[in-house]
Amino acid sequence: FDLAHDVRKKFVLALKKEFPDYGLQYSIGGQISFDVFPVGWDKTFCLKHLEGEGFDTIHFFGDKTFEGGNDYEIYHHPEITGHAVKNPQETQAILKDLFRI
């Protein structure tokens, strides 16, 4: 129903319009959810805990990498190698390729 009628997308847009000055960010997550959180508390929040750990590459796999999706910010982050996937099988295929197995 949501895919056909964009219920969550419209609801998120209404929240943004109704509460523009609350310091909140809204995104579409999962199959039936939407997320509301303080600005800056998206999935990139975890990156500060990885600073100085010496990782050459950080990979992220997500299905909601479009603008407004809950994977968007981390997928497009300059320090991340992002992979847009539709299902676990796509993730597995990319991992097999990355690890050459």
What mean pLDDT comes out for the span 75-81? 96
d(CA 3, CA 5): 6
What radius of gyration, in Å, describes the C-alpha atoms of the chain? Answer: 16
What mean pLDDT comes out for the span 15-38? 91
The answer on pLDDT for 68 being more than 90 is no
With H, G, I as helix, E, B as strand and everything else as coil, classify residue 84: strand
The pLDDT tens digits for 34-55 are: 999 999 899 999 999 999 999 9
pTM over 0.85: no
Q: What is the pLDDT of residue 44?
A: 94
- Of all residues in the chain, the percent with pLDDT exceeding 90 is 78
